Structure 1
């Protein structure tokens, strides 16, 4: 999961729980390098790692789909806004002979990515590059496959970045863009019916995770869109990490959306977040994880 600056994804973060990575991811924007930025990066990194642990299996389907659109086995892959490396690792597993270049603005993210790569035995195929994409494309050479998961909508000028990606791709190269459709949902349908949908709607009104249909942008940048596809995610039974993930997301909704929710919805969130309540989300055994990602596969024209 991958995305760029994440101050708005704060310690209570909810509106960017993704990849990601999906990886989900990110940090290509401006960075002052102070202690609060480091704390924010660490918090976001924690959430990205949770997202990877809970939703990682869908990445096998996603990278398999990407492979079906490659015209030849890629020798070099660039992960644009790699975050903690969820997508980077998935790409390295799928394309076992490829070098993977992970670009991210945050040293914290890249430290975690390097550690994860070492733990998974792919450190020899990883090149981590710290770069602010708003300042320009880094000198990473050419690639056969580019991957931008939950990162493109965070850069200041996505059309310029898309042009940079196209210039970096070899002829016939593939770009995969992935976006998270909305915050994941965790509660069974009969538990506080509609609560999560109302929270998602409030987050959408605040512009959380807003992104455009990238088709026109891709075509203007000189890409030919081969396919746009929605990947539905439904993880049941939920893995143990889903409880911690749900707690982070619900805490974010409670802290950031309380004034926009009804008193009943706030009370429901309070119960789910209260360690002394029977509904406490960290103790629930009935969670399911539902969500969706939209992906575009586009070739350099």
Structure 2
């Protein structure tokens, strides 16, 4: 059964103030936020709905909060991000980040809540977050099916003169929905920014019978060079056995593999570029 929410203004139309207080004291009504009550304990989704009831009617979810609902929420944060027209004052509420927009937009209802369109959401993130996080957002947006690259290109053209639009304009053409995780996208961007050829995401390696045998995070097919990001999943014992078997097969079939970790990705990007430049040369 879904949780029902009421504003105080709605309750006083059907109940007296005394009756409202009585129901609250008996926990028949629960205060979710100031001015919003529920008929039962609230989960995260109900808390979000309650917050939206406290905002101006023009408010819609944007950035990380909208991306989560569209299925490309690769960035994490504790704040709820909403967008309002520039003419509407910013409300001050705990846990809320309000972004004014000068560009008109028609909301899209996703899971019962108004959101900026998927392309607007992705481009807004791509122009405002750090570059290393922007490409993973765009890759994931395409992979989720919420938006196409053509839609992103059309959207970014509408953001002329806005802060960070140059970054978004550079990265949208590089977006690739084949990337399966944030770190793969970041590795690819480091190599591109290092002036190396863009590697192919999720590259399948076939055996002599042209049967797909193994899939690599990134790779250069013609040079037979593969690139892998070693994350936590590779520490599992069964995964380690599989990895060793795969490495031996790839080596026996002429593939040269290069492996990188979070230390390389976030502390030594120049090492990644130097290693791959040497491998390619």
Smaller-chain TM-score bracket:
under 0.3
The structure number with the bigger radius of gyration is 2
TM-score (structure 1 length as normaliser): 0.25
TM-score (structure 2 length as normaliser): 0.26
- Greater relative contact order (Cα 8 A, min sep 6): structure 1 or 2? 1
